[in-house]
Amino acid sequence: MITLLALSGSLRLGSSNTVLLEAAALLAPAGMRIAAYDGIGSLPHFNPDLDGDNPPRSVMALRHLVGAADGLIISCPEYARGIPGSFKNALDWLVGSSEFPGKPVALFNASPRASDAQAALRLVLTTMSARIVEEASITLPLLATRMDAAGMAGNVEIAASVTAALAAFARAIETFAQAEPGGLG
């Protein structure tokens, strides 16, 4: 069983980024489970002084979920041509963790206009030693479509793109696992 953790960079209820991740969970193939992380808004502001021997519980919970996942799916909007502050804050809490480096990541983008945020996100994730899986990273024109997850999953074009991305991600994760001692966790 491949376990993926879905991280939305948006705190907005009904965000196209969040809904895209929910649709991915509906479209997950047999042998894959996608769980959403919804605690980004409750993380404290990153402060290295708090990241010692006893980090905040919410930070430890995020790190545990990241460590337990075989890969991450990230869908992040663009605010002022960059990554939303709350999402960057979550990434900052993962920078010094042992759970994140080498983690396979698929980037789902809900708007072709969010290219600056995607570039910034790629830079940050690469700096953090993520394994961005290009074949599993997609951009879909979902801005202002107002579809729910079931509508996206039922849309032939969207479903085909998401399904192909998930299959590519599964293949990449399995390839990485075969190359590492211990395989899939």
Q: Please identify which residue in the block is written with the tokens 């969010």.
A: 114
Model's pTM, two decimal places? 0.94
The answer, yes or no, to whether residue 8 has pLDDT greater than 90, is yes
Task: Summarize pLDDT for 13-29 with one digit per residue, the tens.
Answer: 889 999 999 999 999 99
Mean pLDDT of 171-183: 85
User: For the chain, what's the residue count?
Assistant: 185
Q: Is 5 helix (H, G, I), strand (E, B) or coil?
A: strand
Distance CA 68, CA 2 (A): 10
Distance CA 163, CA 134 (A): 15
Task: Summarize pLDDT for 156-173 with one digit per residue, the tens.
Answer: 999 999 999 999 999 999
Closest by CA position to 76, among listed 66, 89, 67:
89
pLDDT at 184: 59
Closest by CA position to 73, among listed 116, 31, 104:
104
Q: Is 162 helix (H, G, I), strand (E, B) or coil?
A: helix
Distance CA 72, CA 6 (A): 6
In this structure, of 52-56, 85-89, 161-165, the range with the lowest mean pLDDT score is: 52-56
Name the token pair of 84. 């939303």
Asked whether 10 and 17 are in contact (CB, 8 A), the reply is yes
Q: Which residues of 93-132 are buried (b: 16+ CB within 10 A; e: fewer)?
A: bbeebeebeebbbbbbbbbeebeebbebbbebbeebebbb
Q: Which residues of 142-171 are buried (b: 16+ CB within 10 A; e: fewer)?
A: beeeebebeebbebeebbebbeebbebbbe
Q: Is 83 helix (H, G, I), strand (E, B) or coil?
A: coil
Name the token pair of 135. 């074949």
